[in-house]
């Protein structure tokens, strides 16, 4: 009798369905990881593995996922070949700017025949970025004095005076072009154009990296003579590179970019003696007097907002307080009423994040405060009484923010053209608090069951000590987190909601079709999710659901993984794939 092959017992169900060899690595096998598809592991046979209709449907879905992800995999391969992963920026403390830099690889021989980017091609790429790419990346951004998300006037001048940002923009536009070209002409059609475009992506991203290296070396040489604008430009360049790498999916070590950017911003405040409520105003005035929105001044405001948001979201995966938590009161405007969202910069130079990334200040501050509290609780520095005392202000902040959202909902009905934006706004607290995005139509659940309450309820549970995902699944109803159906959602806004969708999805049950609804959102995103944060959301949710079981009653595969006490918190979920997931 022939002995069973060891690989058969170790193979995940996805590889068995595809009839491919599986290396048995958990939580995601090598084959599924390379293809960016869901890895269905575990000993229990999935319901869809029935040898009949459900199995054929799943096979078609996986085949479609593999085909959709081809363009993104090709781009990441090109970047990995051209960029040395051992290179990283090191910014450790004030006036300590250094590099860990292995000698850069020479360009691959297959790119040597390509000429330098022509002026016409550069102009096309810049125009594409301003008209299409930037509004897609930041759909909630509103430049001062405007109410739309088109690229601001300062951006063109800024990217032309910042070499690193300029090259990153060319790489961004080339990448978008290759994805679009592959969608319209799949396969080998126009292979030469695609090949040239991929080379452009790799070369421009390398130029961006090299420009940042030179800038950091310049900071190190000049020491105390470094100006505020020079420090700010380097911080902005690193953030732009992080945005590019996270979007393309080429960077698994995003901390190597985020940490130096955060350190540079902290250094700016420390070196310029800014530690009071007027600190941010004085920094902006040093760049340019009020009323003169120069490119450097506006770029500093924009990238500071993006950095604060990214740093806070990253802290939920890193099990640590946000590095810039102490700067929030100095930079963010207070949320006292809905009217603060319309305050002009001249009246209040501090930032309203809803006008940059769509996240109200109070929501980000609640997440940040919860992350700080969770870190102290994990370190055993808080008694039960201390935890309750510290959690109370967070709960008050959330309650006050929800009250303002509900008041705005009752203020005025949204125009038909704004319905999709209002739906996104009610999904999570990650979009502008605008009167135009206001009232709830009769088909929307009442505020008590709206998704914003569901996600913020998770924050309250975490702050009050109930951070175990298994317990939360049975404590919080997340069925409404995906209401209304995805057909009402704007694709660009959906991409920015990767983190709150993941938070809500981790607490979804199999019963009632909750998890099926989240799977439908990820699958329905089509090409969008192959090159955005939704790619990571789908993989995280599949792995988490495999661990916690159908209704949060334990590890789905019985391997005992978790945080050591039988429970899973949010950081466990975001790190289920082996490395912390940054979903921005």
For residue range 244-275, list pLDDT tens digits in order. 888 876 566 788 899 999 999 999 998 886 76
Average the pLDDT over 218-222 and give the result: 88
Average the pLDDT over 91-96 and give the result: 51
| Structure confidence at residue 479 (pLDDT) | 54
Lowest mean pLDDT of 3-7, 329-333, 508-512, name the range: 3-7
Indicate the SS3 state at residue 88. strand
Residue by residue, DSSP assigns 282-342 as HHHHHHS-TT---HHHHHHHHHHHHHHHHHHHHHHHHTS--TTGGGHHHHBPP--SGGGGG
Q: Which of 67, 85, 101 is the last residue of a domain?
A: 67
* Dihedral of alpha carbons 537, 542, 547, 550, sign: positive
Mean pLDDT for the chain? 73
Lowest mean pLDDT of 20-29, 200-209, 403-412, name the range: 403-412
Q: Determine the structural domain holding residue 406 and report its residue range.
A: 358-584
278 vs 132: CA distance, rounded Å: 36
Q: Are 498 and 584 in contact (CB under 8 A)?
A: yes
Residue 428's pLDDT band, with cuts at 50, 70 and 90, is very low
| Structure confidence at residue 114 (pLDDT) | 40
* 167-187 burial code (b ≥16 CB/10 A, e <16): bbbbbbbbbbbbbebbeeeee
Residue 528 lies in a domain: yes
**What is the total count of domains within the chain?**
2
Place of tokens 């207070």: 334
What is the 3-state composition of the chain as percent helix, strand, coil, each rounded to the nearest 5? 60, 0, 35
Helix 361-378 and helix 295-318, axial crossing angle in degrees, nearest 10:
40
Residue 392's pLDDT band, with cuts at 50, 70 and 90, is confident
340 vs 243: CA distance, rounded Å: 28
| Structure confidence at residue 530 (pLDDT) | 57
* 430, pLDDT greater than 70: no
| Structure confidence at residue 393 (pLDDT) | 86
Average the pLDDT over 16-41 and give the result: 84
| Structure confidence at residue 520 (pLDDT) | 79
CB atoms within 10 A of CB 34: 12
| Structure confidence at residue 465 (pLDDT) | 44
| Structure confidence at residue 44 (pLDDT) | 81
Residue 289 lies in a domain: no
Q: Which residues pair with 98 in a beta bridge?
A: 90
Q: Are 374 and 333 in contact (CB under 8 A)?
A: no
pLDDT in tens, 525-581: 665 555 567 778 888 888 888 887 765 555 544 343 444 444 567 888 888 888 898
22 vs 3: CA distance, rounded Å: 18
**Tokens in use for 253?**
């070590």
Cβ-based neighbours of 462, under 8 Å, separated by 6 or more: 370, 373, 374, 569, 570
Pick the more confident residue, 38 or 329: 329
Lowest mean pLDDT of 97-111, 432-446, 486-500, name the range: 432-446
| Structure confidence at residue 324 (pLDDT) | 95
Average the pLDDT over 431-459 and give the result: 38
426 vs 450: CA distance, rounded Å: 7
Residue 87 lies in a domain: no
Residue 511's pLDDT band, with cuts at 50, 70 and 90, is confident
pLDDT in tens, 125-138: 898 898 888 988 88
454 vs 459: CA distance, rounded Å: 9
**Tokens in use for 104?**
């850069």
Half-sphere exposure of 305 (CA within 13 A, CB side): 25
Q: Which of 393, 397, 388, 392 is nearest to 465 (CA)?
A: 388
**Tokens in use for 472?**
């939360």
| Report for 197-211, 326-340, 499-513: range of highest mean pLDDT | 197-211
* 425, pLDDT greater than 50: no
117 vs 119: CA distance, rounded Å: 7
| Report for 5-14, 206-215, 382-391: range of highest mean pLDDT | 206-215
Residue by residue, DSSP assigns 547-564 as HH-SSSSS-TTSS--SSS
Q: Which of 14, 32, 67 is the last residue of a domain?
A: 67
* 410, pLDDT greater than 70: no
Residue 115's pLDDT band, with cuts at 50, 70 and 90, is very low
Pick the more confident residue, 180 or 59: 59
* 109, pLDDT greater than 50: no
| Structure confidence at residue 472 (pLDDT) | 52
Average the pLDDT over 222-226 and give the result: 84
Average the pLDDT over 342-365 and give the result: 76
48 vs 46: CA distance, rounded Å: 5
Cβ-based neighbours of 530, under 8 Å, separated by 6 or more: 36, 68, 69, 71, 72
Cβ-based neighbours of 415, under 8 Å, separated by 6 or more: 436
Residue 208's pLDDT band, with cuts at 50, 70 and 90, is very high
| Structure confidence at residue 36 (pLDDT) | 74
* 419, pLDDT greater than 70: no
Residue 95's pLDDT band, with cuts at 50, 70 and 90, is very low
Q: Are 244 and 205 in contact (CB under 8 A)?
A: yes
Domain CATH for 14: 4.10.240
Residue 168 lies in a domain: no
Residue 193 lies in a domain: no
Residue 331 lies in a domain: no
Lowest mean pLDDT of 42-46, 52-56, 407-411, name the range: 407-411
pLDDT in tens, 450-504: 344 445 555 555 544 444 555 555 545 555 556 544 444 566 777 777 888 888 8
Q: Which helix (H) or strand (E) holds 177?
A: helix 163-184
| Structure confidence at residue 261 (pLDDT) | 95
Average the pLDDT over 100-124 and give the result: 52
Residue 330 lies in a domain: no
| Structure confidence at residue 245 (pLDDT) | 85
Distances (CA, A) of 533 to 13, 254, 274: 25, 13, 35
**Percent over 90 (pLDDT), the chain:** 15
Pick the more confident residue, 284 or 149: 284
| Structure confidence at residue 302 (pLDDT) | 95
Cβ-based neighbours of 189, under 8 Å, separated by 6 or more: none
Residue 482 lies in a domain: yes
| Structure confidence at residue 455 (pLDDT) | 54
Residue 39's pLDDT band, with cuts at 50, 70 and 90, is confident
Q: Which of 45, 67, 89 is the last residue of a domain?
A: 67
Residue 195's pLDDT band, with cuts at 50, 70 and 90, is confident
Lowest mean pLDDT of 209-213, 304-308, 312-316, 451-455, name the range: 451-455
Q: Are 32 and 12 in contact (CB under 8 A)?
A: yes
**Tokens in use for 129?**
């970025």
Q: Which helix (H) or strand (E) holds 110?
A: none
Q: Are 136 and 492 in contact (CB under 8 A)?
A: yes
| Structure confidence at residue 237 (pLDDT) | 95
Indicate the SS3 state at residue 344. coil
Q: Which residues pair with 266 in a beta bridge?
A: none
First and final C-alpha spacing in the chain: 54
* 412, pLDDT greater than 60: no
């Amino acid at each position: 009798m022939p002995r069973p092959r060891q690989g058969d017992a170790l193979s995940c169900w996805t590889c068995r369905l595809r009839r491919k060899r599986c290396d048995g690595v958990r939580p995601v096998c090598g084959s599924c990881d390379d293809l960016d598809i869901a890895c269905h592991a575990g000993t229990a046979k999935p319901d869809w593995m029935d040898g009949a209709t459900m199995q054929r449907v799943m096979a078609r879905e996986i085949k479609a996922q593999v085909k959709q992800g081809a363009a993104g995999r090709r781009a990441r391969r090109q970047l990995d070949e051209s960029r040395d992963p051992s290179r990283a920026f090191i910014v450790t403390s004030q006036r300590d700017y250094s590099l860990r830099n292995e000698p850069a690889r020479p360009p691959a021989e297959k790119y040597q025949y390509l000429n330098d980017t022509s002026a016409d091609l550069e102009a096309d790429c810049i125009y594409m970025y301003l008209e299409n790419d930037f509004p897609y990346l930041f759909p909630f951004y509103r430049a001062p004095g405007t109410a739309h998300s088109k690229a601001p006037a300062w951006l063109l001048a800024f990217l032309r005076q910042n070499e690193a940002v300029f090259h990153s923009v060319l790489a961004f536009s080339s990448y978008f072009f290759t994805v679009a070209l592959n969608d319209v002409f799949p396969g080998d059609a126009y292979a030469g154009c695609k090949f040239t475009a991929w080379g452009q992506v790799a070369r421009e991203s390398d130029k961006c990296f090299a420009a940042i290296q030179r800038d950091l070396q310049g900071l190190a040489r000049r020491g105390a003579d470094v100006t505020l604008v020079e420090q700010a430009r380097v911080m902005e360049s690193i953030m732009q590179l992080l945005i590019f790498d996270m979007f393309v999916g080429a960077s698994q070590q995003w901390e190597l970019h985020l940490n130096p950017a955060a350190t540079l911003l902290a250094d700016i405040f420390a070196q310029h003696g800014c530690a009071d409520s007027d600190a941010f105003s004085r920094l902006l005035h040093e760049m340019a007097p009020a009323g003169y929105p120069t490119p450097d001044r506006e770029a500093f405001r924009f990238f500071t907002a993006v950095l604060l948001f990214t740093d806070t979201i990253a802290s939920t995966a890193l099990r640590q307080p946000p590095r810039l938590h102490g700067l929030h009161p100095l930079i963010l405007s207070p949320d006292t009423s809905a009217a603060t969202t319309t305050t002009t910069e001249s009246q209040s130079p501090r930032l309203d994040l809803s006008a940059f990334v769509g996240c109200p200040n109070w929501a980000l501050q609640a997440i940040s405060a919860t992350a700080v509290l969770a870190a102290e609780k994990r370190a055993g520095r808080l008694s039960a009484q201390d935890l309750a005392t510290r959690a109370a202000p967070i709960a008050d902040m959330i309650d006050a923010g929800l009250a303002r959202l509900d008041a705005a909902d009752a203020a005025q009905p949204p125009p038909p053209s704004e319905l999709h934006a209002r739906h996104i706004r009610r999904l999570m607290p990650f979009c502008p608090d605008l009167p135009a995005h206001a009232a709830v139509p009769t088909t929307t659940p009442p505020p008590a069951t709206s998704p914003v309450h569901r996600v913020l309820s998770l924050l309250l549970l975490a702050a009050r000590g109930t951070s175990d995902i298994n317990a939360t699944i049975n404590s919080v109803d997340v069925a409404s987190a995906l209401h209304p159906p995805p057909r009402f959602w704007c694709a660009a806004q959906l991409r920015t909601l990767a983190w709150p969708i993941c938070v809500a999805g981790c607490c979804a049950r199999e019963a009632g079709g909750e998890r099926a609804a989240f799977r439908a959102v990820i699958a329905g995103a089509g090409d969008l999710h192959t090159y955005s944060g939704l790619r990571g959301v789908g993989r995280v949710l599949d792995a988490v659901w495999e661990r916690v079981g159908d209704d949060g009653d334990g590890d789905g595969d019985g391997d005992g993984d978790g945080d050591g006490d039988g429970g899973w918190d949010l950081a466990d979920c975001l790190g289920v794939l082996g490395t912390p997931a940054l979903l921005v």
